[in-house]
Amino acid sequence: MGLGGFGMGEMVFIFLIVLLLFGAKRLPEIGSSLGKGIREFKSSVREIEHELKVPADRQIHHATPPPEPASTTATAATEDGEPRSLSDSAPGSDA
């Protein structure tokens, strides 16, 4: 018995059907595309398995640290450096 329950006769039959559907010129192209897809899938599975095996505290997170807590009176500096309330309209707006 061959791969996954396929015998040699079934494999030849499937190859002939594929040959008739796509032609001899497209078979190498289809094979290389299929090989690339399988390689990418396997590398993705390996990467996911690695992430699951490495403890969370040992993983390097590339996220930015959380912002510091805002003060009770939220202010922002204007262009000239003077603080203004965030509820004030932005410079240049008509509101």
State the chain's mean pLDDT as an integer. 75
Q: Count Cα atoms within 13 angstroms, Cβ side, for 77.
A: 4
**How does pLDDT run across 56-69, given as a tens digit for each residue?**
556 565 566 666 66
pLDDT band at 1 (very low <50, low <70, confident <90, very high): very low
Is the model's pLDDT at 81 over the cut of 80?
no
Number of C-beta neighbours around residue 95 at 10 A: 5
Q: How far apart are the two ends of the chain, measured CA to CA in Å?
A: 78
**How does pLDDT run across 37-50, given as a tens digit for each residue?**
999 999 999 999 99
Q: What percent of the chain has pLDDT over 90?
A: 28
